[in-house]
Amino acid sequence: MSFIDVQNEFMAHIRNPSSNPAPHGIEERRLAIYRDLFFNNILGFISSGFPVLKTLYSEQQWQLLVRRFFSEYDCKSPYFLDIAGEFMSYLSTHYEMHADDPIFMVELAHYEWIELDVSVAIKNETEQTINNADIKQAKLYFSHIARNLSYQFAVQKISESYQPQAPSAQPHYFVVYRDEEDDVQFLSTNAMTALLLSLIENNEGATFDDICQEINSQVPHFSYEQITQGAFITVQSMCERGIIVTKNQY
């Protein structure tokens, strides 16, 4: 057996000892140390990254959930900082929900993970703030350190005492961004603001007038004057927070 085969056999056992026998010739005491070390490290990172989700499970249920991730999912990143993101990817793409999982599980996990995602996002150094006087002339961009989000559940309220059993009648909208002090902020928005930000994000370099015309085509029951008045106030607020930016041309 090659060294690589030995490594693969060792890691298969560490990840899922119930399904993969221990490699020949390695003392059980040593294997137990490795099993506990690897799993407990993963458990610790995920527990600290998803504290609200963790409270909704018993300790045994939580460890079983993390164990499933540890044994079933092939992480793409080797960095500890990315473990929470890998867990989020597992829940949203590979995980099959069980009877003891809350219906809002994936959305709550995403809401908790997004704070870390924004906190470590790399700022685009070409992005520049926009003065109020320049809003209507500037090319508009959605900041690299902001996220425009919507959820079907009121994820911001979920706790042990509040666990909705069905989606809300209307989506819940948020912008998560990093402020000038590099602190992560959560801003509750609405459907029109979410639409405006989505259009800016998907039409990089569009002008204020471009965005208003597109909103008018999608929301024709408002007059163009109403749209421009409301959009200016919203864009102004988002520019002050650094959520909407422009870029230098160098």
Dihedral angle, C-alpha 121, 82, 44, 64, nearest 10 °:
130
pLDDT beyond 60 at 234: yes
Q: Which of 110, 106, 108 is closest to 96 using CA atoms?
A: 106
pLDDT band (50, 70, 90) for residue 19: low
Token pair belonging to 212:
């208003």
pLDDT band (50, 70, 90) for residue 20: low
Q: How large is the average pLDDT for residues 10-15?
A: 60
Domain range 1-101, CATH architecture: Orthogonal Bundle (1.10)
pLDDT for residue 153: 97
Which residue did the predictor score with more confidence, 3 or 52?
A: 52
Q: Where are the domains of the chain?
A: 1-101, 122-250
pLDDT beyond 70 at 200: yes
Residue 148: strand pairing partners? 175
pLDDT beyond 80 at 11: no
Q: How large is the average pLDDT for residues 35-63?
A: 92
User: Percent of the chain having pLDDT more than 90?
Assistant: 74
pLDDT for residue 77: 76
Which residue did the predictor score with more confidence, 93 or 79?
A: 93
Distance CA 139, CA 133 (A): 13
Domain 122-250 in this protein, CATH class: alpha beta
pLDDT beyond 70 at 72: yes
Interstrand relation of 184-189 and 141-142 (parallel, antiparallel or unpaired) = unpaired
Q: Say which range, 10-24, 52-66, 234-248, has the weakest mean pLDDT.
A: 10-24
pLDDT band (50, 70, 90) for residue 208: very high
pLDDT beyond 70 at 49: yes
Q: How large is the average pLDDT for residues 151-165?
A: 96
Q: What are 121-138's pLDDT values in tens digits?
A: 999 999 999 999 999 999
pLDDT beyond 90 at 181: yes
pLDDT band (50, 70, 90) for residue 1: low
pLDDT beyond 70 at 157: yes
| Distances in whole angstroms, Cα of residue 178 to Cα of each of 23, 118, 146, 172, 224 | 47, 7, 7, 20, 32
Q: How large is the average pLDDT for residues 21-33?
A: 67
Asked if residue 12 lies in contact with residue 20, where contact means CB atoms within 8 angstroms, the answer is yes
Which residue did the predictor score with more confidence, 239 or 34?
A: 239
pLDDT beyond 60 at 13: no
Mean pLDDT, the chain, integer: 89
